[in-house]
Every structure is written in structure tokens, then in C-alpha cells.
Amino acid sequence: MQQVLSLALPFFGLIFIGWACGKWRRLPAEGLAWLNFFIVYVSLPALFFQLLSKTPIEQLTNWAFVVGTTFSTYAVFAISLLAGIVFNRGDLRAATIVAVAGAYSNIGYMGPGLTLATLGPEATVPTALVFCFDNAMLFTLAPLLMALSGEKQSPWSTAIAILKRIFLHPFILATIVGVAAAALQVRPPVIVDKMLTSLMQAAAPCALFAMGVTVGLRPVEKITLEIPVVLFIKLIVHPVLVFAILSWIGGFDRVWMMTALLMACLPPALNVYVIAQQYHSHVSQASTIVLIGTLVSVVTVTGFLWIITHDMLPVLR
């Protein structure tokens, strides 16, 4: 248990410190803009590039793993969409936000820090693969469903918006460059390498603190029945499903299996709230789902960490 707490408490402690600071000082939310920019456009991309560029290229083409994890995320997206349609009486726009909340883990801010701290550098490649392909799928499904719900955009505009979200995302760009560097065995100059290493070391603490502040600034709205349902899907069904599917496919290393499980058990991403704001739909509920989901995940993620560190899950090789 001490090993689990040594992983979970510093991790969630940084989120709590950010949350407490957000509640204590009540500074304007705009003050987070530059910190978020640093995290999204500088620090986390440096982390992905540094880790992937030093990875043997043959590890980056495990398509069975990609199919298993991406299909699992798609399945919980579909389940959450159906639940959203039921709870919102056929409102596809609101149901789409619920679906994103049920499938979109906080794999950017929380994923790399947790998987690397728990499983070591061997978790780098599966972490990056889950991030890239889950994001690509969700960045495609959300705009498509919003367009089907009556969003006034031409098919061409929708397609362009989807492609921009996928291929211009800084994390995905950094992953592509890192994979290219690994394939060509290119290494940056020593000075650049040291600078990138400093930036990557700042990624996890800055991201977790910023996440805590953001959650602390969000008001808690009315808690409806759809919130515990979608959080059960996100925090329990998603990790169980991804582990079951990867076990059924078979042939994966334990670290890859556990990485997929950890990435799936994370709470809903802050991007759920961003997407809700962008489409002016289900905004207050999205904010509440992210807040409550983050709080509940202290228990659920710690539980999965305990299971993983005690090697309680059978892994078929």
C-alpha cells in the first residue's frame, strides 16, 4: 500500500494544491492562459519528442495494440452516446458532449505523468499511441455528430476542421516528429537536447497544477442522474473493457497492457468542457462532469494502481 500511496499522493497532491490555490486566491481564469500555452505547446510536446525519438522504430508499429485500444474507446463513446440520448430526450448535441465525457480520458495532462511514474520509460510508446489515436478518433467523431445535429457548417468546412484538429495538435505533431527522428536515428544537438529535457521535466507538475486550478475555478452545477452513469462508464467500464479486449487479442507485454489500463481509467479530460463551450451545448453539465470525475478518480485510479502494483491482473502473452 505504501508503494501505491507513493505514486498516487504526489500525483493527486499536485492537483489538490492547484485546486486549493484556485479556491484561495480567486485570481482571474485568464491568468492560466500562458501556463496552459506552455504546457500544451512547449512542455508536453518536448516530453513526447524526447521519449519517442529515442525509441526503436519497430516498437512504434504495433497495430494490434492501436486497434484494441482505439476500438475500446470507440465502444465506450457509443455506450455514452446512447446514454446521453436517453437522458437528454433525443438531443444529439447534448448527447455528443456526454459521449465525449464518457470516452475522453485526461490523457494529455495526466496520462504521461502517471504511466511513466508507475511503469517506467517502457510505457512511453503505448502512452503515445493511445494518445494519438484516441485523440484522432474523438476529434473526428465530435465534429461529425455536431454537424449531423444541425451545426451550420458545410461538409467541406467540417472536414477541414477535423483535419486541422488532428494534424495541427501540438502533441500529435510532436509525436510525428519524434517517430520520424526515431526512424531516421536523428538526435538533436547537445544544447537543444538539454533544453528539451528541462522542458519535459516541467510537463507533469505544471500540467497537474494547472488542471487543479482549472477545476477549482469551475462551479458545481446541479448533479443529475446522467453524471454518475457517465462517470461509471468512464472510470470503470472503459478500463475494464480495454483490458478485456487486449487480453482477448493477446500477445502484448505486461507494461503495454497496464499502460492502456491506466490511460483508460483516467477521469474525463478538460477538453470535454472546451468542446462543450465551442458548440454552446451542455456547458454546465460538462463542467460538473469534469469536476466530479476528477474527485472520484482519486479513489478509482488509486484502486487501479493498487491492482497493477500488486500484479493482480492476469496478462496473456
pLDDT more than 90, % of the chain: 36
The model's pLDDT over 36-95, given as tens digits with 9 standing for 90+, comes to 889 888 998 898 888 788 777 777 778 999 999 999 999 999 999 999 999 999 899 999
| The residue count for the chain | 317
Residue 103: closest CA among 79, 82, 85: 79
Residues facing residue 105 across a β-bridge: 268
Instruction: Give CA separation, 61 vs 128, 225, 257, in Å.
Output: 12, 41, 16
For residue 122, the SS3 value is: helix
CA 119 to chain centre: 17
**Which option is the CATH number for 2-25+32-309: 3.30.390.10, 1.10.10.60, 1.20.1530.20, 3.40.50.720?**
1.20.1530.20
CA 281 – CA 290 distance, rounded (Å): 15
For residue 102, the SS3 value is: helix
Residue 101: closest CA among 276, 278, 297, 220: 276
Q: For cell 510525428, what's the residue?
A: 176
CA 297 – CA 15 distance, rounded (Å): 12
Instruction: Give CA separation, 156 vs 137, 139, 153, 249, 291, in Å.
Output: 18, 16, 8, 37, 35
The model's pLDDT over 140-183, given as tens digits with 9 standing for 90+, comes to 888 888 888 766 666 777 778 778 777 787 878 888 898 888 88
* Cα pseudo-dihedral 77, 80, 82, 85, rounded to 10: -120
Residue 73: closest CA among 292, 277, 265, 254: 265
CA 51 – CA 196 distance, rounded (Å): 10
Contact 35, 214 (CB under 8 A): no
pLDDT of residue 82: 96
User: Is residue 100 predicted with pLDDT exceeding 70?
Assistant: yes
The model's pLDDT over 179-232, given as tens digits with 9 standing for 90+, comes to 888 888 888 899 999 999 999 888 888 888 988 888 788 777 778 889 999 999
Residue 252: closest CA among 55, 51, 56, 59: 59
CA 296 – CA 15 distance, rounded (Å): 13
**Average pLDDT of every residue of the chain:** 87
Residue 301, Cβ neighbours under 10 Å: how many? 23
pLDDT of residue 190: 92
pLDDT of residue 315: 58
Contact 8, 301 (CB under 8 A): yes
User: Is residue 1 predicted with pLDDT exceeding 70?
Assistant: no
Each residue of 234-256: b (16+ CB within 10 Å) or e?
Answer: bbebbbbbbbebbeeeeebeebb
CA 115 to chain centre: 12
Contact 139, 165 (CB under 8 A): yes
CA 292 – CA 272 distance, rounded (Å): 13
CA 198 – CA 209 distance, rounded (Å): 18
